[in-house]
Amino acid sequence: MYELHVLIQGYPGKSLYHGGLGWSTVALLRSAKDNVLLDTGHYMHREVLVENLGALGLGCDDVTAIAISHCHWDHCVNFPMFPKARLYVSRAELEWAAAQPPGRFPIPELHVEKMLSRKSLTRLEDGDVFLPGLEAIATPGHTPGHMGFIAQGERGEYIYTGDAIKNSSELCSSRVDMTLDLPKSLDALRRIRERAAANPQNVVIFGHDRCCSFDGAHVHEREPLKFGLSARLGENFDALTTFDLAPRASGAR
């Protein structure tokens, strides 16, 4: 059985002028024997990751395993922070990412190269139960080797979608954005929808949104969505403008 702790809550937004959907989720699964990270986020997550692990009484050396959904920069670059962790990545994803020329996709080329040289790396296949109670499921489309992860919790399953389903709008509408193969993405979405709806106690952990349960038609958020920005927009150094990007109402949507 695993306990779920969301270390970094993803946000379902896009930057209009600066590229990238980089506000991604990092989740921790805790069992009696393991502390497993589902994705590791990007560079700007580092201080928050250390702080939130510390609040649980953990340090970077206490992370025993890392499961990477796909090789985009916002999901994988912090794996070197956890030198004692076993690393689990899709075989198909690694082969695809390593074969891409620099700059073609949001792949951190040097990090992928480092992954391939890591002694603790295990290449995953669809259906692998790579830790007790933790299964890898192939969810290609967003990238060719994308994987989701399903963990056994006390009451239901924790279903980590990564970017196969980035947010609750994709789950509810059965539509997806930002995919390299739309038919495969739609198939992955269908399979995850069915699995999520099978038990009202299941928890869906999106790559870029808050966690939810799913009744087959609507999501029921399990935590408020949080996001904000502060900016210095004028000549006065002490004048900070704050933008709160959290919705004003929560619940099913």
> Which regions of the chain are under pLDDT 50?
250-253
> What is the domain-level CATH number for residue 234?
3.60.15.10
- pTM to 2 decimal places: 0.95
- Nearest-angstrom CA–CA distance, 134 and 124: 12
Question: For 156-198, how does the pLDDT look when each residue is reduced to its tens digit (9 = 90+)?
Answer: 999 999 999 999 999 999 999 999 999 999 999 999 999 999 9
Domain tally, the chain: 1
Residue 168 resides in a domain? yes
> Residue 139: its pLDDT value, please?
98
Residue 250 resides in a domain? no
| Residue 173 in tokens | 């509408």
> Residue 246: its pLDDT value, please?
86
Residue 126 resides in a domain? yes
Residue 252 resides in a domain? no
Residue 101 resides in a domain? yes
Residue 147 resides in a domain? yes
Please enumerate in sequence order all residues whose Cβ is within 8 A of that of 88, keeping only pairs 6 or more positions apart, or say none: 65, 66, 67, 68, 121, 122, 124, 130, 136
Q: 189-210 burial, b for 16+ CB within 10 Å, e for fewer?
A: beebbebbbeeeebbbbbbbbb
> Residue 171: its pLDDT value, please?
98
**Residue 79: which of 54, 48, 42, 113 has the closest Cα?**
42
Residue 253 resides in a domain? no
Domain of 186, in residue numbers: 3-244
Residue 56 resides in a domain? yes
